[in-house]
Amino acid sequence: MSMLEIKDLKVNYGGIEALKGISFQVEEEEIVTIIGANGAGKSTTLRAIMEVVKPAGGSISFQGEEITGMNTQRIVEKGIVLVPEGRRVFPNLTVLENLRIGAYLRGDKQGIEKDIQHVYSLFPRLQERHWQHAGTLSGGEQQMLAVGRALMARPKLIMMDEPSLGLAPLVVKDIFAIIRRIHEEGVTVLLIEQNANAALKIAHRGYVMETGRITLTGTGTALLNDESVREAYLGKAH
């Protein structure tokens, strides 16, 4: 049984089919990446899993349980959490308040305090700045906060939407190191990236998406060496 199993998922925006029936799986303790160009439907896939957009067809199951049509709150409680594209921290809340919002659905006060300390140990910068408004953080720090906030929900599966978007190359390196670290702590990762090179290097398996369809799948290394992937997403020089 896969941890996350997507079967024939379809999403329409108005009259446009954003997802034309995609199927894929994420196994427990894997890093899986979906790569593809702008507008291929990658973000839509994650939003459909969270039920932030309603699928037009297909099924999503998590740990053997059908979650299609559940509300977002229940899905977060089941252990799936989304780090949205563009970080989307709450700019007028402090860093600490942002982290607490991540644990909004949890009632265990002590556990929350412990997890805040844990996030601080992962990202010491957040502890230094815990009283600052999140809007005043740098892009990299905001991404750390977005990841930290997601971890506060104690997820089993963390889904990241373009975590490297708009960040300096050095910071991007940090972000990928953090993804590895999270994975080592036993959290399964579903990663969406335009930075295909970096994503495929840390992923166990990858899927290639094009205009609402999955066109190719394989292990990270296999895709990295695939001629068509190299041509389309990595640039020929690689």
Partner 1 sequence: MKKKTANLISLGLVAGLFLVLFLLEQVMDPASMLFVVLKKGAIYALVAVSMNLLNGFTGLFSLGQAGFMLIGAYAYGILTIPPEARDAVYQYFDGGIIQFALPVPLALIIAGLAAAFFAFLIGLPVLRLKSDYLAIATLGFAEIIRAFFQWDALGPITNGSNLLRRFPTFSSVIFPFFVAGLCIAIIVLLVNSSYGRAFKAIRDDEVAAEAMGINLFKHKQMAFVISSFFAGVSGALLAMYQTTVQASAFKSAMTYEILLIVVIGGIGSISGSCIASFLFIACNEWWLRFLDNELFIGTWQVPLLRTGFRKVVFSIIIMAVVLFYRQGIMGDR
Cα-Cα-Cα-Cα torsion 88, 90, 94, 98, nearest 10 degrees, comes to -70
Minimum separation from the CB atom of position 120 to partner 1 (A): 19
Report the interface residues with partner 1, using CB under 8 A.
Answer: 50, 52, 71-73, 75-77, 81-82, 84, 88-93, 97, 100-102, 104-105, 149, 153
Instruction: Give the C-alpha separation, 30 to 33, whole Å.
Output: 10
Tell me whether residue 90 or residue 204 sits nearer to partner 1 (CB atom): 90
The residues near 182 (Cβ < 8 Å, ≥ 6 apart) are 147, 151, 158, 189
| Residue carrying structure tokens 């394989």 | 218
Minimum separation from the CB atom of position 105 to partner 1 (A): 5
Instruction: Give the C-alpha separation, 96 to 83, whole Å.
Output: 17
Tell me whether residue 13 or residue 231 sits nearer to partner 1 (CB atom): 13
Minimum separation from the CB atom of position 89 to partner 1 (A): 7
Minimum separation from the CB atom of position 25 to partner 1 (A): 22
Tell me whether residue 167 or residue 208 sits nearer to partner 1 (CB atom): 167
* Cβ pair 135, 91 in contact under 8 A: yes
Minimum separation from the CB atom of position 186 to partner 1 (A): 21
Tell me whether residue 74 or residue 201 sits nearer to partner 1 (CB atom): 74
Minimum separation from the CB atom of position 136 to partner 1 (A): 11
Tell me whether residue 49 or residue 224 sits nearer to partner 1 (CB atom): 49
Instruction: Give the C-alpha separation, 100 to 15, whole Å.
Output: 39
**Mind giving me the DSSP string for 168-218?**
-HHHHHHHHHHHHHHHHTT-EEEEEES-HHHHHHH-SEEEEEETTEEEEEE
Tell me whether residue 101 or residue 222 sits nearer to partner 1 (CB atom): 101
